[in-house]
Amino acid sequence: MVEVRLEKVSKIFGRVRAVDNVTVTFPESRFSVMLGPSGSGKSTTLYLVAGIYKPTNGSIYFGDKDVTNLPPKDRNVGLVFQNYALYPHMSVYENIAFPLRLQKLDESTIATKVNEVAKLLRIEELLDRYPSQLSGGQQQRVALARALAKEPSVLLLDEPLSNLDALLRLTIRAELKKLQQKLGITAIHVTHDQAEALSMADVIIVMDQGRVEQVGTPHEVYYKPRSLFVAGFIGSPPANILSGRIERIKDALVIEVAGARFEPSEDHLAVLRESNLEDIVIAFRPEHVLLVDEPIGRNLNVEAEVYVTEPLGKETIVTLVVAGNLMIKAVASPDYSLRSGEKVYVSVPRNKIMLFDPATGLNILHIAGESEPA
């Protein structure tokens, strides 16, 4: 097992910068997930690791070994595609045996290995069938078996779950993670499904427009987004984003937003006092919103009108209008009954509020952290 390291890697297709100066480490024996919207360069990055694409600039390392110019066949990686890409003219057995045959192993070793990996993925009874005779979930297992058969040092997964139906996806998601832990393999998984990323990942790499927006644990990415993009992309529904102004009167510093004023938390105050920001973007998660009749202490309290409620069973999503035309989403308990047009206060505790620099889109706490000398 090796760690995979990209150093200042760019990939340019014609005039498109698909991957833009990416430096990132996928830790050894961990499950890394690249998350981003379509066109964010995550699949391209995966193909760069696989060797299907060659980087325009930069270097790729497996451990200490520079693999930048190695063809895919010499990298010992396993790759599973969204459409599985099984070989339709070969039986399941032959599909799994294909990479082993290329290693010129003898027939009995191949049989042992195929049966071993088939057992691991519980597809022993499918070995004689052809891909066209399999369901999506079964094809997915076969593709995974084929990728694992040659015992790769890195397992690459390109949205392998997105062609499965919702229920199966949940099952395989858990199994895939279990499998990775059992084998201790370095896995890199690409997805646009944040629930998938949050549930499976040891490390999430959030990508947008060919750049890495944030690298962190699911918890960090969710609760400490480095940029507005991450805050707006992750979470279901994603974070509410409002623009505000900073008002400095002598020593006091308050933020004005949607007709309301609040004093930022101590951490924020410390950073804001050092800066000369005038405009600010504030963000908060829908589940941190309290819907109350009266303002609460030092929280951010904004007058709002209920626009629509969507009961989802375990919770109710409430959409509210503040300051005339801004929409806010809040998660309320399912027994919370509100009617459209009703007036309430949107109340957010100070420590749940995130602040971003409108010019760079970066979290002001991160700016402070990153500018410190290493």
Q: Report the largest interatomic distance among the alpha carbons of the chain, rounded to a whole angstrom.
A: 82
Q: Pick from 103, 275, 337, 340 the residue near another protein by CB under 8 A.
A: 103
Measure Cα distances from 279 to 245, 261, 272 in Å.
5, 14, 11
d(C-alpha 302, C-alpha 73), whole Å: 59
99 binds another protein, rule: CB under 8 A? yes
Q: Pick from 36, 41, 51, 225 the residue near another protein by CB under 8 A.
A: 51
344 binds another protein, rule: CB under 8 A? no
Q: Which of 65, 30, 250, 57 is nearest to 155 (CA)?
A: 30
Q: Pick from 88, 313, 324, 373 the residue near another protein by CB under 8 A.
A: 88
Is 139 or 301 the residue whose CB approaches another protein more closely?
Answer: 139
Measure Cα distances from 22 to 12, 43, 51, 307 in Å.
12, 13, 16, 42
Q: Pick from 2, 9, 77, 291 the residue near another protein by CB under 8 A.
A: 77
Is 82 or 181 the residue whose CB approaches another protein more closely?
Answer: 82
The span of 69-77, 116-124, 314-322, 333-341 binding another protein (CB under 8 A) equals 69-77
> How many helices (H) and strands (E) in the chain?
10, 20
Q: Which of 168, 162, 159, 114 is nearest to 138 (CA)?
A: 168
98 binds another protein, rule: CB under 8 A? yes
83 binds another protein, rule: CB under 8 A? yes
Question: Could you tell me the smallest distance in angstroms from the CB atom of residue 271 to another protein?
Answer: 46
Q: DSSP strand E in 127-278: where?
A: 154-158, 186-191, 203-208, 211-216, 240-249, 252-257, 260-262
264 binds another protein, rule: CB under 8 A? no
Pick left, alpha or beta for residue 76 (phi over 0 → left; psi -120 to 50 → alpha; otherwise beta).
left
52 binds another protein, rule: CB under 8 A? yes
The span of 26-34, 71-79, 192-200, 275-283 binding another protein (CB under 8 A) equals 71-79
Q: Pick from 7, 29, 70, 81 the residue near another protein by CB under 8 A.
A: 81
The span of 84-92, 112-120, 210-218, 237-245 binding another protein (CB under 8 A) equals 84-92
Angle in degrees, 0-180, between the axes of helices 92-102 and 136-149, rounded to the nearest 10 = 20
146 binds another protein, rule: CB under 8 A? yes
Q: Pick from 85, 111, 120, 183 the residue near another protein by CB under 8 A.
A: 85
11 binds another protein, rule: CB under 8 A? no
Taking a C-beta distance cutoff of 8 angstroms, is the pair 348, 290 a contact? yes
SS3 97: helix
235 binds another protein, rule: CB under 8 A? no
Q: Pick from 2, 9, 79, 304 the residue near another protein by CB under 8 A.
A: 79
12 binds another protein, rule: CB under 8 A? no
Residues that bind another protein (CB under 8 A): 47, 50-52, 71-73, 75, 77-79, 81-83, 85-89, 98-99, 102-103, 146, 150
